[in-house]
Amino acid sequence: MKTDYDIIIIGGGAMGLSTAAELSTSGKKTLVLEQFGFFNDKGSSAGLSRQFRVQYAQKYMAQLALDSIPYWDKLQKSTKDILIDKVGSLWFGDPSISSQEGGIQAAIDVMKELKIPFTELTAKEIEKDFPFKDLPKDYFGFFQEDGGIIDLGATLRTLFNIANSSKNIELKEYEKVTDIQSKNDGIITVSTANESFSTEKLIITPGAYINDILKHFGLSVNVDIWEMSSAYYKKTEDIKLPTWFVFQEPQNTSLFYGFPEVNWANPGYIRVAPDIPDAILKDPSQRSGKPSEKSLQLNSNWVKEHMIGLNDQAEFTSTCLITLNNNNKELMIDTLPEWVHNNKNIIVYTGGWAAKFIPLLGKILADLAVTGTTKFDISPFKIQWPVVRGEISNRLLTTQRENLKLDVAIVGAGASGLYSGYRLLNGTDKNGNKLNLDVGIFDLSDRIGGRLESIKLPGMNVVGELGGMRYMTEQKIVTALIEDVFSTQYALKPIDFPMGDANHHLFYLRKQRFFANRFSQAKITGEHFETRYFVEDKFKGKSSDDIFTEIISEVLEADGYSLKQIQESPYAREVWNEVKQKLVYRFPGPYENMLVYKIGFWNLLKDRSSQECYEFLAQAGGYYSNTINWNAAEAFPYMVGDFASDAVKYKTIEGGYDQVLTCLADDFIQKGGKIRIKNRLKTFRKNPDNSSEYKYILTFYNLEKKDTWEVEAKDIILGMPKRSLELLDQDNFFFNIDTQQKLHNNMNSVTPEPSFKILLGFEDPWWEKGLGAKAGESITDLPMRQCYYFGVDPKNSHSLFLASYNDMRTVSFWQALEKGEKFQTTETRLVRAKNTIYPNYEHASKVMVDEVMSQVKELHGPAIEIPNPYTSAFKDWTKDPYGGGYHAWKNNYKVWEVMPYMRHPYKEERIFIAGEAYSDQQGWVEGAFCVAEHIMREKYELECPSWLDQDYYIGW
């Protein structure tokens, strides 16, 4: 494996230069990339002085400071400048306070344990020995003689000179990293606006800009960036100071620190600064660069009231950025998580007040890159990476690109589009060769995932599913990707989708409330259990699942088929697809001797029972969509296989089901693919240049720039549901209604099914106490239809509740409540900000929450006490461009003919249609995957992937 460099360092501040200096004797060819100029003041290295101290409230931090001293001594030998002036360190104030810097008493305890010498001081003794005045009499502190002031400028120059004079170190400034690709061949490629560089090892030390770099891996760290002010005050007397820090309440206005006079920074002046953020940022671009007048005034008031020998007017003011971790870690040092290619060869450092450790951290980072280990204990600084990439939005492009030419343009970043992109860049032909195609994916949304959307409500580590939420283990493509491919590549963790216990679930139908186990109990006890539906005698006391199964079994048996034999066949899907084409309805009446695929499911159910029984099936089944008048032949395997079979095993992914698509997207990006969001396809046309190999020109509307742009492509894959197809230009050569009537007829073979979800967050899982439920669903004929008891955060009691999962005719009930005042997230033990609207999903309106809570209380009855929720979310999948949450085949269509036709409507064109809508597993991710897999094999001649059972049936 040949690369341009052995090691690349991103970030040329103190830590990057220290690491480079340490590598100067390693013989490793090393490149340092700095996005600004070296010695800039735009990040954590701004300012000329830093404090050195060995006292810490944590033993491991104090030990790290002690361990750094020999490395400072070694570095000192490389320069005539004094790097640390050991003037000592003074801490004083309220000994009970613990701050970002630690606390006085805790630091004393650690110094005693490590036998670090220090002198305890009262307020009176501090005023006697140092130029402070009017301190509260109960203030207390200590002086530690090893503390001092770091000449940061001299330190940076020394490190730079060591690196710059070394033959194996190359320093490049004004090289902002624009992309990083870490591929499974072991090569890491770092690109800037000017060029690209390859390396075996990568060290990331960009300080406050850490997430700008980690975004290229689909990662971020949980940090706050403090912009902090500092000032110098003119001496009016000849005073001598150590470095110092005062601990006081309230901490947001009363923490200050300072330095002695130094000859390298404004001689005749002394630096004093508030240890208070002017602003807490999430991105360095938010930096103002202007000191806060409020912070400076607090600072000057402290100087005026408690310091001797200084003018109280602030001069030479400035700001700097400090990166602080939100997970109680002083520093962050780690390799990337295991699911990133070459993760052990990519080392990350960021966070904290770390100038005192500069040469030691350079040693640690260099050793990690060269040997993979360090003798120093860095275990307290491990980064809490997510279990898997839950967020890659910062790697998605929103930009246009001139003269973009693609082998394949995929429109739609949902299941079928992402799977198509993944297979095109990973698949091989019959000779084992990859296709080497240039593939791009486009989506009008600001995210990927289509109708999968996993979210976390504030204050709880429980995933809520606004879209699809589970898969069945007999669905082999999605199962293999999750449980074999991505469990290894990305550490995806498949888990059982909890269905709960019917003993603790409710039905509430026609104002009759009963436990869901009453139907099964009646079978055992022989009880004559009746609902408030006037069903036929033979169906009395039976559940909707039992009735569905009985009716379907009767229709099959009347035409010579056995439901039991079909379901028990190892090739059940193939058998069903044979039966669906031939099955005849053999009962007297209006449908006698009709092929079942020509009959509507409602028609058939009513004919085999009654309209009253049909109402029971529609209400008690939980989904109106299951009983609409769709293709009865398609409904049969769906009802007895997906929803009415106790043998079905549902699973999902820890951390959210949409991660299966996130992993597809990430792998696609790592293989060189680009995903452009916020780009809506308006139309496409044939290229007027007949000599061009790029046969099509696609016109996109960029939602950010609000203008159109064009992309040329050889092939187009439309990974889109029916409604999205209808929203495209219907007058172009492909969709023209006058000339392409067959396409429109087949497009209309499916019905989009409205779907709506409302999620609520509660401080406690009231359903456990009141109902005994741990998971699963309760069902009602109220417009809320179904509720799911989703789960409880294992670290606290905050709990997630799917308050309404409704479809078809009830969706319009909730749509009327979407507008108006939003339900405000309220304060809980963990959610501090009142009335906060979180931006990543849509909050329900106040009236919607009030209405659904009224129905939830009616469903559960007066005996169960239900508190108010503290937060909400909702999703209406009926809205464009989706048109519905899932689809159903209409009757009278030969699905076995429509499916292959819709994949490739015109043989003379290289335009394909993929997605769940025109599949034989509608409503499932697997349906979208199977359609896309057909296209991959039939139109791109890819072999079945090695991770998939070669005999797996992917449908018509």
Q: Does the CA dihedral 936-941-942-943 come out positive or negative?
A: positive
Reply yes or no: is the peptide bond before residue 250 cis, omega within 30 of 0: yes
761 bridge partner residues: 800, 871
Helix (H) or strand (E) holding 616: helix 611-620
Is the C-alpha dihedral spanning 561, 562, 563, 565 positive or negative? negative
Categorise residue 639: left if φ over 0, alpha if ψ from -120 to 50, beta otherwise.
Answer: alpha
102 sits in the region (left: phi over 0; alpha: psi -120 to 50; else beta) called left
447: annotated active-site residue: no
29: nearest Cα among 163, 170, 165, 158 = 170
Nearest to 717 by CA among 437, 491, 459: 437
Q: Please identify which of the residues 71, 232, 353, 602 carries the catalytic annotation.
A: 353
582 catalytically annotated? no
Active site residue 663: no
> For residue 225, what are the CA distances in angstroms to 279, 281, 284, 410, 881?
8, 5, 7, 38, 38
* Burial class of residue 829 in the structure, from the number of CB atoms within 10 Å of its CB (0-12 exposed, 13-18 middle, 19+ buried): exposed
Element (H, E) at 433: none
Give the Cα-Cα-Cα angle 737, 743, 747 (nearest 5 degrees).
105
Cite the beta strand spans of 22-73 per DSSP E: 30-34, 49-52
- Max CA-CA distance within the chain? 112
Respond yes or no: is residue 490 known to be catalytic: no
Residue 25's SS3 state is coil
Q: Is 615 a catalytic residue?
A: no
Note if 650 is an active site residue: no
The span from the CA of 486 to the CA of 46, in Å, is 42
Decide: helix, strand or coil at residue 158.
helix
Instruction: Tally Cβ neighbours within 10 Å of residue 229.
Output: 23
d(CA 338, CA 514): 49
Residue 410 token pair: 């995929």
Find the catalytic residue in 6, 85, 101, 658. 101
Catalytic choice (5, 91, 226, 257): 257
Return the residue matching tokens 């004559």: 528
* DSSP H stretches of helix in 610-750: 611-620, 632-637, 659-670, 722-726, 741-747
Q: Which of 22, 175, 275, 545 is catalytic?
A: 275
Q: How far apart are CA 356 and CA 84, in angstroms?
A: 9
* CB under 8 A, 24+ apart: contacts of 849-854: 849/758, 849/760, 849/823, 851/817, 852/758, 852/760, 852/784, 852/803, 852/804, 853/760, 853/803
Catalytic pick among 42, 50, 53, 451: 53
DSSP symbols for 932-948 = HHHHHHHHS-PPPPTTS
Query: How does DSSP assign 449-474, residue by residue?
Result: -TT--EEE-TT---EEESS---EETT
How far is 89 from 320, CA to CA, in rounded Å?
A: 22
Strands 169-173 and 30-34: parallel
* 320 catalytic per annotation: yes
**Residue corresponding to tokens 């003018």:** 311
The sign one gets for the Cα dihedral 615, 617, 620, 623 is: negative
| Catalytic residue selected from 320, 663, 787, 930 | 320
3-state secondary structure of 627: helix
Residue tagged active-site, from 29, 271, 329, 356: 356
Write phi, then psi, for 907 (nearest 5 degrees). -65, -25
Neighbours of 167 (CB within 10 A): 8
**Which amino acid is it at 245?**
F
Supply angle C-alpha 910, 911, 912, rounded to 5: 120
The structure tokens 């040092």 sit at: 333
- Residues acting as catalytic residues: 53, 101, 257, 275, 320, 353, 356
